[in-house]
Each structure stands twice: as C-alpha cells, then as structure tokens.
Chain A
Amino acid sequence: MLQFLARRLLQAALVVFLALTAVFSLQFLAGDPVKLFLPTDTTTKQIEEFRERLGFNDPWVVQYVRFMRGALAGNFGNSLRQGEPALDLVLSRFPATLWLSGVAMALSLAIAIPVGVISAARRNSWFDHLGIGATVLGQAVPGFWLGLMLIYVFAVWLKILPTGGRGTWLHYIMPSITLAAFVAARFARLTRSMMLDVLGQDYIRTARAKGLAPPRVLYKHALKNASLPVVTLLALQLGQLLGGAVITETIFAWPGVGRFLVQALLNRDFPVVLVGVFLTAVLYSGLNLAADLTYAWLNPRIRYE
C-alpha cells in the first residue's frame, strides 16, 4: 500500500511537471509571448524593456530552467497586471472557490441521493420517471444558461436575490444551485443504478424476509453497499466543480479562482495563468488519487499492487 502511494505520488508529480512544461511551451508555439501578453498599443521601446526585464531575450532553455526553478520554490513571478506575486494572488481567492464548491457539493448530494434511492426503490413509478427526466434534463442544461435564467427570474424579475458578488448566505443560493445541477444529475443516475444492482442481491431478500422495516433495509443494508462508486465519483466530481467554477464564478461575479483565471486569460497575464494551471493540476491529481485510495479503503477486496 505504501509503495503504491509512493508510486502514485511520484506519478502525480510527473504529471504536474509535464503540465507546466506543456503550457510553458504553448506560449512559444503561439508566437511571440511578449506581443501576445502585452496590449497592442505598447511602443517598441516598452516591449524591449519588458523583454529584458522578464528575460524573454534569453534562449528558451534558459527561460525554461529559470521558470522551473522558480516554480519549485513556489515563485511563479509577479502578475503582469497587479505587480504582486502571482501565487499569492491566486491563493487569496481560493477560499471563496472552496466554499462555493463545498456548498454546491453538499447541495447536490442532499438532493441526488434521496432521489436516486427512492427512484430505485420504486422503479417505474411516476417518481422514478420524473427523476430520470430531471436527471437527463439536468445533464443537458449548460450551467451558464441555468445561471443566467436564475438571475433573470430571481434577481431581475422577482428581485429577491442578489445578482452576484459574495457577502451574505443569499449570495450563495444561485451560484451553488447552478454549480450543483449537473453534478446532482450524475449522482442521482449513479445512485439509482447502483441501488438497483444492490436491491437484486440475495442479502437484501434475506433482510426483507427477516421482517426488517423497509426503510432500514433500504438505507442501512442497500445504500451502504451502493455507496462505493458514489464516494469515488465524489472525489472526481469535486475536480469537475473546479472547472465549472470558471463559468459559474464569471456569471455571478464570485470573487474566486475561476473568475480570476478567466480575467487573467483575457488580460494575457501569463504568470497568473501558469499558477492557475499548476494549482489545478496539483489539486485534480490529488483528488484522483484520493478517489483511488477511498475506493481501496472502502472495498478491502481491491488491492493495489
């Protein structure tokens, strides 16, 4: 197990390293990085100064080594716009994103698991059909449109919720619903199909034959066994929420990492983009690893070599 963990950590480190290399080289493929990341009205003299200051005049091997050494020390350079260390700027926006993702994840589980369990327990009932319809629709509705529609109905029309920003708990409602919708749909579908699998097992029939109360059979015996893939999906979906945050945060002016990254891309603030790429790769690889480990922990039959 320890060996497996060590190998996976090494692998994750390699992935992060390769991801940084890929993005670093992409800026050269895309043409002159200086012109790319400076506004069009910059004078030639300013461009030269900028080149010299950021070391863009050095051979790319030198630039690459310098960049990687900095990255290892947690130094990605300063934001081209704000002039402060890019890493600090991104990290300071992290709590807002984590809070939103956490609330959205809790919300989607609170809706999806009961829906999945009841749908499976009453297969082919009206509730099941309604549930399936909702999940299919939930997967087809893009988050950014759902967000806009919520803003229109609750902020513009009914005027009961703020359009964006972060302050009171009211600010959480629309962004977390938007972010939760897609994830909830996936969880509900998975829970339903896993429950259907489990409910057909012999031990469920035994539990029922013993005369146990149906809710006890459903939640204690069945759900526990059906929850394994759901837990795995949880870790993977947390990573997807980080991707979804890019769009949701932009719509609701949520002061998190996603919105900051979109602005950095629009402003061509390359150090900030690299930090965003770096942190996403670290976090996402970490979550993938966590998914594998919880899977092994919950199901002792699985042994990683």
Chain B
Amino acid sequence: MTRVDATATTPAVPADLPRPRRRLPLNRSGAFGLILVAIVAIVAAFAPVFSPYGPTDTDLARSLRPPTADHWMGTDQLGRDLFTRILYGARVSLAIGVVTVGVSGAIGLIVGTLAGYLGGAADVVLMRVVDVWLSFPFILLALVVNAILGIGLQNIILTLIITGWVVYARLVRGEVLALKTQEYVEAARALGARESRIVLRHLLPNLWTPVIILSSLQVAQFIVAEAAISFLGFGVQPPMASWGNMLNEGRTYIYNAWWMTTFPGAALVVTALGVNLVGDWLRDTLDPRLTA
C-alpha cells in the first residue's frame, strides 16, 4: 500500500484532495489472524493440489478408518477422505462468508444511505423492518428463513443475505444521519452540489470504515451460522462438503470415530478465530474511538 503524503500535493479545492491513506500498523494478534486466514484461503483455493482424493470419492472398504499416513484425518462412514472434504469445505465456508457479506453489505449500504439521507417514509419503513429483524436471535431467524426457503447452497446464501443486510442498513443509516449535518456537507449543498454528488463524494467515503469493520466481524458470524444451520440438517446438504454437515454426520458416529467430529470443528475454529482477530485488529486500527 502506497502512502500519499497530503502535504506534498497542491492544496486545491478540499474535496479534490487525494484522500490520505491510513496506515495499518500490524500488531501481533492481527498478524496471527491474517496468517490463519491466509492458510485457510490457500488450502481452499488449491484443494486439489493438497489432496490426491476427490471430496466425494467413496471407498466402502475403507470406511471409518482412524487417521493414518494415507488418510491424515481418517475417513468417514462412506470411506471418503476427511482431510479432502475439509479442504473442499473451506471453499464452501469462505465462498459463503465472502458472497453473503459482500451482497448483504451492498444492499445494507444502499438502503441505509437512502433511508438516512431521504428520511420520511423510507426511513420509517426501514426502521420497522430493522425492529422486526432484531426481535429474533440471529441464528433462529436464519434457521426459520432457511427452513422455509429450502435447503441447498444457493438457499443458505440467500438466507444469510436476507437476514444479514439489516445490520448494515441500521449502521449506515445512523452514520448518514450524523454525517449529513456536518458542515462540509452543508457547504457542498450551499455550493449547489447535486444530491447524488453529495452522497457519492461526501458521504460514501466516510461510510467505508464502519462498513469494513462490521464486515470483518460479520464474515465469521456468517461462516459459523452456515455451519450451525447445516449441522441441524438444513443448509448445505451432503454429499457436498460443508463443515456443518460433516459435523452432523460425525455426530452419529461419535462413539467409534472421534476424528469425524474433531477435525471439521477444528477447521471451523481456526477460520473463525483468524477472521475475528483480523476484525478486532481492523476495528482497533481504523476506529480509534472504539479502542478500550
């Protein structure tokens, strides 16, 4: 990341100044989190390189084998290699985390900005929707929506988007309400700037930080939510590998195959821990108001 020195540029109209890049000094736990996330991302991207097996290759003669040199994490009830399924499960988890956070973040950003900026009926409607959404524990809401929408990868993504955008909308609305009374926004308006310019040039740049911080915390929540819902028998269905449905299958064999419940859960913990640490680091670095 290049750092632009604000003093080196010619001070022209304030709004045209290149935005000074914030430096992100890396602390120990942030670096550790980044490493964990990087490992998960690499094994997910290059899953076939790390394993000679396919995620759905069954071999009934080798079912429920404990970890060995051939099968590092053992095999499941159908003789599928657990390590391979965990690698492919990482793809599902990361894809869900990134896609759902991206889309729900975008929807929440648009709706929140409109509601906060325009006020009136749009705002009232949004806030009632927010109230309803927040009158349920997140996991329960997602579970009910998913059960009604139906199972499968697409529907779990849709579920998390439907249940996830509200948090963003509420955050963005609050920020916009505070920002739009700022003097520089009034100045822009006094200069005759169009509404679209005010929103895009003056409000949006100030919304990135809170949205990025929230996103970093939402990624882990969405990944764990998918696993929890798939664990309960909804969400992603076998034979597609998801850490949640692997845990669900492993639960049946907890008396004779400890590896089936241990490893997928450990993968989930490593991922959630990594993402959370990165999230904490981003929050502490980007938003000094929140550092405790």
- Check A281 against B135 for contact (C-beta < 8 Å): yes
Residue in A27, A139, A277, A285 whose CB lies within 8 Å of B276:
A139
A206-245 contact mask (Cβ, 8 Å, vs B): 1 or 0: 0000000000000000000000000000000001101110
- Check B135 against A140 for contact (C-beta < 8 Å): no
Contacts of A29 in B (CB 8 A): 148
Q: How far is the CA of A265 from the CA of B143 in the complex (A)?
A: 9
- Check A144 against B132 for contact (C-beta < 8 Å): no
A22-51 contact mask (Cβ, 8 Å, vs B): 1 or 0: 110011011000001000000000000000
Question: Considering the complex, which residues of chain B in the window 245-261 have a beta carbon less than 8 Å from any beta carbon of chain A?
Answer: 247, 250-251, 254-255, 258, 261
Stretch from A13-21, A52-60, A78-86, A296-304 forming part of the interface with B: A13-21
Stretch from A64-72, A87-95, A145-153 forming part of the interface with B: A145-153
Give min CB distance, A28 to chain B, whole Å.
Answer: 10
Contacts of B143 in A (CB 8 A): 246, 262, 265
Contacts of A36 in B (CB 8 A): 148
- Check A145 against B144 for contact (C-beta < 8 Å): no
- Check B135 against A284 for contact (C-beta < 8 Å): yes
Contacts of B227 in A (CB 8 A): 142, 144
Q: Is residue A136 within 8 Å, beta carbon to beta carbon, of the partner chain?
A: yes
Q: Is residue A250 within 8 Å, beta carbon to beta carbon, of the partner chain?
A: yes
Interface residue total, chain A, C-beta cutoff 8 A? 51
Q: How far is the CA of A16 from the CA of B132 in the complex (A)?
A: 7
Q: How far is the CA of A284 from the CA of B224 in the complex (A)?
A: 22
Q: How far is the CA of A266 from the CA of B234 in the complex (A)?
A: 8
Q: Is residue A11 within 8 Å, beta carbon to beta carbon, of the partner chain?
A: yes
Contacts of B147 in A (CB 8 A): 265-266, 273
Q: Is residue B292 within 8 Å, beta carbon to beta carbon, of the partner chain?
A: yes
- Check A16 against B139 for contact (C-beta < 8 Å): no
Q: Is residue A9 within 8 Å, beta carbon to beta carbon, of the partner chain?
A: no
DSSP majority for the A interface? Answer: helix
Question: Considering the complex, which residues of chain A in the window 117-152 have a beta carbon less than 8 Å from any beta carbon of chain B?
Answer: 136-137, 139-145, 148-149, 151-152
- Check A30 against B228 for contact (C-beta < 8 Å): no
Give min CB distance, A58 to chain B, whole Å.
Answer: 21
Residue in B128, B233, B269 whose CB lies within 8 Å of A14:
B128
Q: How far is the CA of A280 from the CA of B136 in the complex (A)?
A: 6
Residue in A142, A148, A250 whose CB lies within 8 Å of B269:
A142
Q: How far is the CA of A251 from the CA of B231 in the complex (A)?
A: 10
- Check B135 against A285 for contact (C-beta < 8 Å): yes
Known contacts: A30-B149, A149-B265. The answer to whether A280 contacts B137 by CB under 8 A is yes
- Check A144 against B148 for contact (C-beta < 8 Å): no
Q: Is residue A110 within 8 Å, beta carbon to beta carbon, of the partner chain?
A: no
Contacts of B132 in A (CB 8 A): 15, 18-19, 22, 281
Contacts of A142 in B (CB 8 A): 224, 227-228, 265, 268-269, 272
- Check B148 against A26 for contact (C-beta < 8 Å): yes
- Check A145 against B232 for contact (C-beta < 8 Å): no
Contacts of A247 in B (CB 8 A): 139, 228, 231-232
Q: How far is the CA of A277 from the CA of B161 in the complex (A)?
A: 20
Known contacts: A11-B131, A23-B144. The answer to whether A145 contacts B247 by CB under 8 A is yes
Residue of B132, B143, B234 ringed by the most chain A CB atoms within 10 A: B132
Residue of B nearest to A30 (CB): B148
Give min CB distance, B277 to chain A, whole Å.
Answer: 7
- Check B137 against A239 for contact (C-beta < 8 Å): yes
- Check B140 against A280 for contact (C-beta < 8 Å): yes
Q: Is residue B44 within 8 Å, beta carbon to beta carbon, of the partner chain?
A: no
Give min CB distance, A157 to chain B, whole Å.
Answer: 8
- Check B276 against A145 for contact (C-beta < 8 Å): no
- Check A196 against B136 for contact (C-beta < 8 Å): no
Residue of B nearest to A29 (CB): B148
- Check A152 against B276 for contact (C-beta < 8 Å): no
Give min CB distance, B253 to chain A, whole Å.
Answer: 11
With A14-B131, A148-B251, A240-B137 known, 4 other A-B pairs at CB within 8 A are A148-B250, A246-B140, A266-B233, A277-B144
List 8 A-B residue pairs with CB atoms under 8 Å apart, sorted by A's residue number. Answer: A36-B148, A136-B277, A137-B269, A142-B224, A142-B227, A145-B269, A247-B232, A251-B251
- Nearest first, the 4 closest Cβ-Cβ pairs linking A and B are A243-B137, A145-B265, A193-B292, A140-B273
Residues of A within 8 A of B (CB): 11, 14-16, 18-19, 22-23, 26-27, 29-30, 36, 136-137, 139-145, 148-149, 151-152, 156, 193, 196-197, 239-240, 242-244, 246-247, 250-251, 261-262, 265-266, 273, 276-277, 280-281, 284-285, 288
